A and B are shown apart, each in its own frame.
Chain A
């Protein structure tokens, strides 16, 4: 059922893929190669020379308790962000799908947060929760809760999770909403006649039919949590307190640009690269198997 165009020669196809290859080469293969190369060296403290250490950077990282803590932080952070970005989005999409009137207006309103850049969102949330001038922090104080994400690692984690997930809800909502609209009405009606009430239908019919979308969003959101939340973390907590919110990407930045340990930073990039690779492979494997009903 696929429609393929077949080319006779090889010159035209080569020309057609050249721009893509060029972009990948400049923005991906070259930096990735550089990272791999640099990960094999340790620069001296003044950055004037570097010494070949082989797997030394990796050996050090894997036995470094701070790095392993960053791994754990990343896992917790990504899981929380993904959950906090997907579950409310799904819920809102289900509610919007039930609306007959004004679903369009509702959808438009829900898309707005997506237009806010992560760093801006971070600043926004930071101000709301600022321990001295934040509106929310003040109200929490009135309720007798002493909010202080500058000192409390768990509160800091909660704040960066919420700030990171907030904008993504819109994006996920759009996908869930479109997928819900694509579920054939008559299948839902058949389930209703079969005796399933709303939430039963949701869990036994709708959710399984959404699974390709859910999985796609799962991967996309995990990748987002891994890589694109830098701005949020940088503006709100800068990785603190006591590295409680230092995820892998933030540590690459902190060790490389703040700590000036380019070798270790490069090695961390390489490890991240591997993690993304595994995630991507998983995604394609799964999609091939499950998407086509």
Chain B
């Protein structure tokens, strides 16, 4: 229950700049997902908010107060780690109550709070167990429980679901989101999984090499990616991005001509989401299909354009296996074209 503001935050390890100036203003109760490929600095950014890494430059404000120099315990935050970081020698109840014991709360009050959190997370029956006797999902819940009993203003999550299997991940994703809404606590959530980012975020911050490529709601990022990187990172399968030429009469992509959405001229990068392509015998795009992946509701077709560039289309329904090694004509609506600057990667339209 606090706002979090990052004002041009930078981090250097020695001379190497790992975070290159990130600014973000998180509203009270908002769920922010920090998403990006491995090594882009997501954990580092989160750990700076937690106070586990020093902030080289810039200002961090939690609840409007400058927090750069506060100790982790004085920031009113709770963190869930990727490996859960449970105290191995303590029972589940002791793990959850540790923070309260340190605060010096009376034992009865601690027990009550732990019991309530345990009920919320369905851990009632496990309170006396040690972490080593729990399953991955249960450990994850204990880590959540430890975070919520302290009633912090901000939750920090560093890839909390990456050690779980796919099914449990979907379930825990919902549980975490539900819990956060119920408690109304501001949350920063790190993941490299774009599906997690899309489904959980109020707003997401797409990071690449220590820079925030785009900050926006999942639909904003999906519909109007600000950079080529954001365009290809969010959405599955990834967007096709191809060099094209913008002229007066339209966008020239090899032999194909598409409507020019802006008044642009010169070389551009053209982005086409696989799911926006429609099979159309008169369509301008001709694709040589090499491989069909039926997913049930839709089918992924992988192949090449006449120029030799790799290309993917996602078509609804089942496409027969003989779709392989055939040519397919595709069209796309003008509003689904994304144009990027070939040098900077910034959006042009």
Chain A interface residues toward B at CB < 8 A: 184, 186-187, 189-197, 200, 204-205, 208-209, 211, 293
Contact = CB atoms under 8 A, between A and B. Distances in A.
Interface string B65-102: 00000011100011101110111110000000011001
Contacts of A192: 52, 71-73
B132 interface: yes
8 contacts: A184-B83, A189-B79, A190-B87, A190-B146, A192-B52, A194-B146, A197-B71, A205-B87
A211 B88 CA distance: 12
Contacts of B85: 184, 186-187, 189-190
Contact of B88 (A189, A191, A197, A209): A209
A194 B81 contact: no
A186 B81 contact: yes
B79 A190 contact: yes
Given A191-B87, A196-B73, 17 more contacts: A184-B83, A186-B85, A187-B85, A187-B88, A189-B72, A189-B79, A190-B81, A191-B98, A192-B72, A193-B51, A194-B73, A194-B99, A194-B102, A194-B146, A195-B73, A200-B102, A211-B89
Q: What's the interface size class on B, roughly?
A: 20 to 34
Contacts of B72: 189, 192-193
A193 B50 contact: yes
B81 A197 contact: no
A293 B81 contact: no
Closest 6 interchain pairs by CB?
Answer: A194-B99, A186-B85, A195-B73, A190-B85, A195-B102, A293-B88
A187 B150 CA distance: 17
B103 interface: yes
Contacts of B98: 191, 194, 196, 204
A47 to B, nearest CB: 58
A195 B52 contact: no
Contact of B73 (A197, A205, A208): A197
The interface centre, meaning the residue of A195, A205, A293 with most chain B CB atoms within 10 A of its CB, is A195
Interface of B: 50-52, 71-73, 77-79, 81-83, 85-89, 98-99, 102-103, 130, 132, 146, 150
B77 A193 contact: yes
A186 B146 contact: no
B150 A194 contact: yes
B73 A209 contact: no
B87 A193 contact: no
B89 A208 contact: yes
Nearest to A185: B85
A189 B77 CA distance: 12
Contact of A193 (B79, B83, B89, B103): B79
Contacts of A191: 87, 98
A164 to B, nearest CB: 32
Nearest to B94: A204
A189 B88 CA distance: 14
A293 B91 CA distance: 12
A208 B89 CA distance: 7
Nearest to B80: A190
A216 to B, nearest CB: 17
A186 B77 contact: no
A189 B46 CA distance: 13
A195 B89 contact: no
Contact of B99 (A195, A205, A209, A211): A195
A87 B213 CA distance: 52
The interface centre, meaning the residue of A187, A190, A196, A208 with most chain B CB atoms within 10 A of its CB, is A190
Given A189-B52, A189-B72, A205-B87, A196 B81 contact: no
A191 to B, nearest CB: 7
A200 B79 CA distance: 19
A193 B102 contact: no
Contacts of A186: 81-83, 85
Contacts of A187: 85-88
A205 B88 CA distance: 9
Contacts of B150: 194
Contact of A293 (B77, B83, B89, B99): B89
Nearest to A196: B102
B279 to A, nearest CB: 50
The interface centre, meaning the residue of B73, B82, B130, B150 with most chain A CB atoms within 10 A of its CB, is B73
Contacts of A189: 50, 52, 72, 79, 81, 85
Nearest to A290: B89
Contacts of B88: 187, 209, 293
Contacts of A293: 88-89, 130, 132
A128 to B, nearest CB: 42
A32 to B, nearest CB: 39
Nearest to B150: A194
Contacts of B89: 208-209, 211, 293
B70 to A, nearest CB: 12
Contacts of B102: 194-196, 200
Contacts of B78: 193
A191 B101 CA distance: 12
A46 B102 CA distance: 72
